[in-house]
Structure 1
Amino acid sequence: MPTIQVAQFPVSSDFQAAPQKFASSLDIIKTADGHIRFAPLSYYGVQVEDEKNAYFISGDNCRCTVWESYEHHAKLIAEPSYKTLIESLRPATADSTKFSRHHIDISTDALTALSSPATEIVVFTLKNGAGDADAMAPLMEELKAGLDAAVGAHPPCFFGQGREEKNKFVLVVGWDTVAAHWEAVKEGTSLHATVQKIAAIADIGIGHSLLKAS
């Protein structure tokens, strides 16, 4: 099953000044076993809400790469060349201790959401004692269905449970604009009601980015 990696970290002034210069550091991934070569290598961009955090997606810096499986990417991480890659990207982050990475398995196309004019990235973290993954899954499906039908959305959106941290779910949605997202989930809408049900059992961290492919 295809796997998406979403890494997040606060960006340095070097990255803010010239984010494109770090894209060439990722050439090593292009020849890695299991990387889906028809897809652009990755997507990056500063967070709309706080440009001190870039994503190589939102609020932080996030890299997204499509893999044939989680195991293929794990194999690359174990290679000595991967350490060289990480060192070359280190100047892009303001604080390496705040680096986080999520792998999620997906069953739908990821490129539409990632290449949309605006991309929403959400991390849901289950609250202690408030619910579990079995309770979260149907709510995420309900949310996905509503988002895919929303005005201004670029379906399909996609989500998955974290491979490393089972209490986390990551959602990625494409939009015409950031404003279109907030209009779709405003109070009084069915999507708002779904989000409120999820908020009862999970903390929600939302960010947006105008991503670029590299």
Structure 2
Amino acid sequence: MSTIPTTEIIILDTSEEFRKDVSIISPAFDAVSKADGFQAPVYTGIQIENPTTGYIILNWESMAHHQALMDSPSYGSVLEALKPAFGGPFKMYHVIFNEHPIALQQPVTQVLLLTLKDPSHRAEVFDILSKISVLSKKMLVFGPTLENENQIVLVGGWASVEAHLERVATEPKEVVERLFALATKDHHFHAALRPYAGK
């Protein structure tokens, strides 16, 4: 299997235009698709629980490849082409997951952001998440953000929100309780992402 990519995750306050049609920012992705190290497709979508929040998720061969795009003269035009999607602030994260993020290909993607309450618990939290990842047949992957090693992003792939909730009900309660005793849940929602491979 190829090297696990660096995944860029943008969580944004959406514009009304983006909520109506996520493809309005396709020109930005067409430009990004020409960048060295970009791995198609880009995944975009609206949060199921609250459509004023949206997601843009894409993969790079490495963080250096994404940085090279951000440092290039063409990056300004990429940002300009993305503007119609934004209705307010956004946050960007980069993460190298424990396995390939095949979860993004499922009908519903769970996005969970955790922050360790105490960095000394990192190994235990990773152990809990590793066990959950194995049980999910790697349909649930996780990793610390490159920006902050105490912040962890987890994405899971599901047939539906209901399928996720049914699965959670079967998890050992003490494991889930222990996880949230050690880490703060900063963001936990679902999105229906659609792939865009570019022209």
* Range of TM-score over shorter length: 0.7 to 0.9
Q: Following the alignment from structure 1 to structure 2, what is the Cα–Cα distance between the partners of residues 137 and 10?
A: 33
What stretches of structure 2 of length at least 5 have no aligned partner?
A: none
Asked if 1:182 is matched to 2:155, the reply is no
What residue number does 1:15 align with? 18
What is the deviation of 1:137?
3.8
Structure with the greater relative contact order (CA < 8 A, sep ≥ 6): 1 or 2?
A: 2
Distance 1:148 1:27, change over 3 A: same
TM-score by length of 1: 0.82
Which amino acid letter does the alignment assign opposite residue 183 of structure 2? Answer: A
Give 2:152's aligned residue. Answer: 169
CA RMSD of aligned residues (A): 1.9
Q: Which amino acid aligns with 1:121?
A: V
Which residue does the alignment assign to 1:200? 181
Contact 2:5/2:100 (8 A) holds in 1 = no
Unaligned runs of 5+ in 1: 56-62
The Cα of 1:41 is off from its aligned counterpart by: 2.3
C-alpha distance in structure 2 between counterparts of 1:194 and 1:82, whole Å: 43
CA 1:107 to 1:125, structure 2 compared with 1: closer, same or farther past 3 Å? closer
Whole-angstrom distance in 2 between the partners of 1:137 and 1:179? 31
Shift of 1:107: 4.3
Q: Structure 1: how far apart are the matches of 2:9 and 2:110? A: 12
- Normalised by the length of structure 2, the TM-score is 0.88
CA distance in 1, matches of 2:174, 2:15: 38
Deviations 1:146-178 (A, max 9, x none): 25425xxx7332111111122210001101111
Give the Cα separation in 2 of the matches to 1:105 and 1:156: 15
CA distance, structure 1, for counterparts of residue 94 and residue 79 of structure 2: 17
Pairing 1:101–2:107 present: no
Give the corresponding residue for 1:58. none
Q: Number of residue pairs matched? A: 192
Whole-angstrom CA distance in 1 between matches of 2:12 and 2:174: 31
Aligned to 1:75: 68
1:5 counterpart (8, 14, 17): 8
Deviation readout 1:167-194 (Å, 9 max, x if unpaired): 21000110111111112223x731x432
**Aligned equivalents of 1:144, 1:183: Cα separation in 2:** 20
Aligned residue in 1 for 2:48: 48
- Please show how residues 111-150 of structure 1 align to structure 2 within 5 Å: 112-127=102-117, 131-132=118-119, 134-150=120-136
Shift of 1:100: 0.5
Greater strand proportion: 2
| Partner Cα distance (2:134, 2:23) in 1 | 31
